[in-house]
Amino acid sequence: MGKKTKIALAIAAASAAAWAGSKAISKPQQREGKQALQFDHPIILAHRGGAHLAPEHTMPAFKKAAQFGVDGFEIDIRLTKDEEIIVFHDDTVDRTTDGYGLVADMTLAEINALNHGYQFEDLDGEVPYRNEKIDVVTLRELLETYPNMLVNIDIKDAPDTYEGSLMPSKLWRLIEELGAENRVVVTSFYGEQIDRFNLYAQNQVALGAGESDVRKAFASFSSQFGHLYHPKVDVFQIPPKSGVITLDSPKFIQFLSNLNIPVHYWTINDVATMNRLIHNGAKGIVTDRPDIAVELLQK
């Protein structure tokens, strides 16, 4: 036996011993189930209210999605200059016919004073909201209007901004005031924002995975050391694919399911993909087309 072969065998033996040792002392720890995520069927979340059916993040969109019978909404939030939490995706108010500016530099009243004539084109090519003024929705308004809906809240303000530094505490205080702990999920692409929020919430609210959580989980799943992965979030809301990485395999979904973590996929707007994901084990579909998603699940 050559020297290189002996070294290779020694490394393999050491790796096997390390794996066996870690397996013996580390057991997978399931997340404690959160009430907000207790559904006995795959759920439908209207993405920004159903962004292909009405102007995103507006009351007409939320109303229409609710009428279709969705289980909840997937929304983004930002903080205004006067520290109101609004349901809004972009950092600028630039989807109106009159006015432009950073959300963080404008008060709620200033934003609503703009002429919100949405250039939204519906599925028939019509522009039904062109001349209709629609005020921005606050998170308080949405939670109070739909007390029985699950609301997945995505913090968009970055942690290194002034508004981002305030958002976790502001959000927690609003959720606590409204008694909405058991009907919301809080997440962000910024893992730091999720951690900051949970300093206040103390695991009383379901947490969604940030980008770092997804990377860590997939790396653990792909290795021989998946048993070392101990999740700190309650639900994964992810795309089917990230770059060259496939995130929708039945095995990956089962890996997370074994840890009591449901997987919701975004943004899925065709029936064939919805069918495949649900067949693979997905527990939720985030879609711009709640009309076809609800119809599919009702079948």
Neighbours of 152 (CB within 10 A): 24
CB 138, CB 58: distance < 8 Å: no
- In percent, the amount of the chain with pLDDT more than 70 equals 88
The pLDDT of residue 27 is 59
- Residue 161 binned pLDDT confidence (cut-offs 50, 70, 90): very high
* Segments in the chain forming alpha helices (H): 3-25, 59-68, 108-113, 139-145, 162-178, 191-201, 211-222, 250-257, 271-280, 290-298
60: three-class secondary structure by DSSP: helix
Q: How far apart are CA 165 and CA 172, in angstroms?
A: 13
Handedness of CA 292, 296, 298, 299 (dihedral sign): positive
For residue 79, give the nearest of 135, 134, 156, 191 by alpha carbon.
Answer: 156
178: three-class secondary structure by DSSP: helix
Best-predicted range by mean pLDDT (11-15, 93-97, 191-195): 191-195
* 5, pLDDT greater than 80: no
Residue 237 carries which side chain, given as an amino acid letter? Q
Q: How far apart are CA 76 and CA 78, in angstroms?
A: 7
- Residue 141 binned pLDDT confidence (cut-offs 50, 70, 90): very high
For the chain, list the domains and their CATH numbers. 33-91+138-298 (3.20.20.190)
Pairing relationship of beta strands 263-265 and 284-287 according to DSSP bridges: parallel
Instruction: Note the pTM of the prediction, 2 decimals.
Output: 0.89
Element (H, E) at 93: none
Handedness of CA 173, 175, 177, 181 (dihedral sign): negative
Q: How far apart are CA 168 and CA 75, in angstroms?
A: 16
For the segment 38-42, the average pLDDT, to the nearest whole number, is 95
Element (H, E) at 107: none
For the segment 248-266, the average pLDDT, to the nearest whole number, is 97
pLDDT tens column, 196-223: 999 999 999 999 999 999 999 999 999 8
Q: How far apart are CA 36 and CA 256, in angstroms?
A: 18
Neighbours of 100 (CB within 10 A): 11
pLDDT tens column, 47-84: 999 999 999 999 999 999 999 999 999 999 999 999 99
Mean pLDDT for all residues in the chain: 89
Pairing relationship of beta strands 72-79 and 184-187 according to DSSP bridges: unpaired
For residue 87, give the nearest of 43, 146, 30, 40 by alpha carbon.
Answer: 146
